[in-house]
């Protein structure tokens, strides 16, 4: 997916900020804290988004993850029990490294970035992943709206609706 499609779907064209240095990660983490999302629980709007995403894409699980210092916290989730996982095991951490571009992994067992990941080799046995980075108004990536399934895919689905849902999640998080 290219940035042109990403911005065509967006109503608020934000310039995504890549986070590559430790200083930029500190700024990104400060952006996460400014949203107050880590203190919120059970937002009905975010929960509706993951439910729609899971049904639309016929996947086992959909999540809105927020990447914190040491964990990936799920602001909303369907199809997965834990409220958080270690940051080091996070697929969404990889997604936020290229904000403005979705990350699609058709088969995690065939992708050397993920093939030995505990979430691939153990529960929930992720094979397919698609994640759209969630950006704040300044363009910092906070986390991702993602789809996961225990079945690999042969080709990437159209992510148009997922990108629309991600923008809706960004607006809710910004409140």
pLDDT in tens, 114-158: 999 999 999 999 999 999 999 999 999 999 999 999 999 999 999
State the DSSP code for 13. Answer: -
13 domain-assigned:
no
Lowest mean pLDDT among 16-30, 61-75, 86-100: 16-30
What's the CATH number where 157 sits?
3.30.450.40
10 domain-assigned:
no
What domain count does the chain have?
1
> Model-level pTM?
0.89
7 domain-assigned:
no
8 domain-assigned:
no
DSSP string for 116-135: T-HHHHSTT---EEEEEEEE
Average pLDDT over the chain reads: 90
Please report the pLDDT score of residue 6 as a whole number. Answer: 42
Please report the pLDDT score of residue 4 as a whole number. Answer: 42
9 domain-assigned:
no
Residues 35-58 have a mean pLDDT of: 94
3 domain-assigned:
no
- Residue 72 belongs to what domain range? 18-174
């Amino acid at each position: 997916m290219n940035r042109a499609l990403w911005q065509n779907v967006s109503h608020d064209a934000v310039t995504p900020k890549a986070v590559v240095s430790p200083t930029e990660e500190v700024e990104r983490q400060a952006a996460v804290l400014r949203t107050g999302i880590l203190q919120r629980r059970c937002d009905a709007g975010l929960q509706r988004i993951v439910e729609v995403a899971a049904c639309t894409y016929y996947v086992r699980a959909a999540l809105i993850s927020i990447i914190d210092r040491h964990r990936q916290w799920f602001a909303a989730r369907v199809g997965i029990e834990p409220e958080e996982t270690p940051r080091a095991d996070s697929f969404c951490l990889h997604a936020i490294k290229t904000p403005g571009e979705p990350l699609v992994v058709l088969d995690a067992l065939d992708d050397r970035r993920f093939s030995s990941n505990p979430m691939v080799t153990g529960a929930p046995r992720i094979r397919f992943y698609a994640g759209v980075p969630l950006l704040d108004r300044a363009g910092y990536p906070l986390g991702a709206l993602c789809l996961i399934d225990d079945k690999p895919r042969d080709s990437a689905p159209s992510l148009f609706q997922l990108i629309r849902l991600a923008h809706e999640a960004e607006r809710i998080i910004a409140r």
